[in-house]
Amino acid sequence: MVGVGASTAAADTVIDSIPVGELPTGVAITPDGSRVYVTNGGNSRVSVIETATNTMVDTIAVWDSPQGVAVTPDGSRVYVAHPFREVVAVIETATNTMVDVVSVGTLPTGVAVNPSGSHVYVTNQLDDSVSVIETAGNNLVDTVTVGDLPLGVAVSPEGSRAYVTNVSDKTVSVIDTATNTEVDTIGVGDQPMAVAVNPSGSHIYVTNQVDNSVSVIETADNNLVDTVTVGALPSGVAASPDGSRVYVTNAGENTVSVIDTATNTEVDTIRVGGRPVGVAATPEGSRVYVANVDGNTVSVIAVERCLGSLCIDTGALVGRGSMGSSGS
């Protein structure tokens, strides 16, 4: 679709709603963009979505109440946190089966894999720590002390830093991955939840659930440089592959806020399903997938870009892909 739009504005549209398991929360996409893995906290399953058709093509049995999820850079493994079992499950994507379980700390929730795929970082909420897993043997190799009630975690593009949100402290811990030590603490908003790093590694974005805001941090000196007002109860956050946009799920009003990173302003609001939490963008940037806890669905957003008066709906260019899922 080509049409008239505001200069450099985003005009994204929900093009599909995919039924998944009970209480979907975490979302991760394979590096080739062909599959989406969704944790279903209510039924001990991970749903697998095929992005070409936007249909659920597999369901993987894991342990109870899966939450955080991350895919390795080569796409061969998926790591899933189980808060009430104090473990991380390892899924082999070739067979979509659970092949290993790694014991970690108490109430593990957030999961992130470094760019080389050699290590996985897991936040343990009640231990105030981050577990470091070596993926070669799926062994716990280190534990890093961080702030109070750590939840979200993200790794920088070059792998030298891991960023962890500490809910009770209103801070973000900065971990040096070479030494696995906390080297800095950054003050942010009230009840920081999720964190995302932009593709260049120059900035990180943190959702603050009580403040209804997103903190923008410059990584060169770990300084808070801006705060963006978004919707009610912001939860998940994801940066677009080109770094021009940040997507924030607002669990309190069933929307996704779109932030223009050049101006750090909210430029669009997209209505999705009930209580959206997890969010992830495809590697080419044409789609954003959002897990909706209420309704047990995943919303598919087609990304539209406008340059001057020319708007291109990338969803229309690459195909919407319904094939049995309910369009919206």
For 259-299, write each residue's pLDDT tens digit: 999 999 999 999 999 999 999 999 999 999 999 999 999 99
Q: What percent of the chain has pLDDT over 70?
A: 89
Average pLDDT, the chain: 91
Buried b (16+ CB within 10 A) or exposed e, 228-265: bebbebbbbbbbbbebbbbbbbbbebbbbbbbbbeebe
Q: Residue ranges of the domains in the chain?
A: 25-295
Residue 143: what pLDDT?
98
Q: Is the pLDDT of residue 171 over 90?
A: yes
CA–CA distances in Å: residue 172 to residues 179, 207, 233, 259: 18, 11, 18, 20
Q: Is the pLDDT of residue 10 over 80?
A: no
Contacts of 312 (CB under 8 A, 6+ apart): 1, 2, 304, 305, 306
**Start-end of H helices in the chain:** 314-318
Find out whether 265 and 254 touch, Cβ atoms under 8 Å.
Answer: no
Residue 308 and residue 4: Cα distance in Å, rounded? 8
Helix (H) or strand (E) holding 318: helix 314-318
* Torsion over CA: 206, 207, 208, 214 (sign): positive
CATH topology for the 25-295 domain: Methylamine Dehydrogenase; Chain H (2.130.10)
Q: Is the pLDDT of residue 1 over 90?
A: no
CA–CA distances in Å: residue 322 to residues 53, 65, 282, 294: 6, 29, 17, 21
Residue 304: what pLDDT?
78
Higher pLDDT, 78 or 8: 78
Find out whether 67 and 86 touch, Cβ atoms under 8 Å.
Answer: no
